Amino acid sequence: MSSPGVATSSVSPTSLITLKINGVEKRLPLAPWTTLLDALREHMDLTGTKKGCDHGQCGACTVLVNGKRINSCLTLAVMQEGNEITTIEGLAKGEELHPLQEAFVEHDAFQCGYCTPGQICSAIGLMNEGKAQSRAEIRELMSGNLCRCGAYSNIVDAIDQVMHERGEHA
pLDDT at position 170 is 46
Same fold, 16-90 and 99-165: no
pLDDT tens digits for range 95-133 = 999 999 999 999 999 889 999 999 999 999 999 999 999
| Candidates 3.20.130.10, 3.40.50.300, 3.10.20.30, 3.40.50.10800; CATH matching 16-90 | 3.10.20.30
Q: Which distant-in-sequence residues (6+ apart) come within 8 Å of 32 by Cβ?
A: 15, 76, 78
- Quickly list H helices, 2-109: 36-38, 99-106
CATH 1.10.287.3510 fits 99-165, yes or no: no
Helix axes 116-129, 152-165, angle to 10 degrees: 40
158 close to 106: Cβ distance less than 8 angstroms: yes
Q: How many CA atoms lie within 13 A of 68 on its CB side?
A: 4
Higher-scoring residue by pLDDT: 92, 167: 92
Q: Where are the domains of the chain?
A: 16-90, 99-165
